[in-house]
Amino acid sequence: MPVEVFADVACPFTHIGLLRFIEESDRRGRSDVRLVVRSWPLEMVNGRPLDPAFIAEEIDEIRPQVDRDYFGGFDPATFPSSSVPAMALAAAAYAAGEGTGEEVSIELRRLLFCDGADIADPAVLDGVARRFGVAFDAGDRAAQTAAVSADYERGRQLGVTGSPHFFTSTGDFFCPALSVGRNEDGHLVVSADEESFAEFVEACLR
């Protein structure tokens, strides 16, 4: 069965979790297990857009914890003013099939974190939609908000606690690839959580 994930497209913790899972499933030859990435819009959760400076701080903490740079082209100056349009495109892609949805979900994150693209830019979204053959109106913000809000409501009903929150056939896992917290000085501390990630992978690929 697919692994359902609730996440914000601009969440760097999700970017790591998705790529690490895909790398491990590819290593095991398990292309049959798909990720279904639903919207967990942090700007709706928090009542304000994500702060690019805070995202940059998170990325600075993540980089030393992973064996390669997943954020080579990240640029706070081009950080999207809203993540809703990109997540709506991902939702439209899943309507075309799980494989297309997964590919678009990964591509949007690659554009943001590796290429430094503004994934709220309609031209960027139109380009992705065309490349993957997805019917999507980048200018219809009402439809985009409705699609993302539907995922958000489903996530709330399931008890999603943050981004990313994974649901498998045997249990759910919040941010299994990383341990995230703050020290006594309030400084963000991120470390790899290999034990939790291994447990998560086994739940998905058994």
Q: Which domains does the chain have, with CATH numbers?
A: 3-205 (3.40.30.10)
Q: What is the pLDDT along the chain (206 residues), one digit of tens a residue?
A: 789 999 999 999 999 999 999 999 999 999 899 999 999 999 999 999 999 999 998 898 888 877 678 999 999 999 999 999 999 999 999 999 999 999 999 999 999 999 999 999 999 999 999 999 999 999 999 999 999 999 999 999 999 999 999 999 899 999 998 877 777 766 777 777 888 888 998 999 87
Check: CB of residue 35 under 8 Å from CB of residue 18: yes
Bond prior to 164 in cis (omega within 30° of 0): yes
122 neighbors 139 (Cβ within 8 angstroms):
yes
- Three-state DSSP class for residue 122: helix
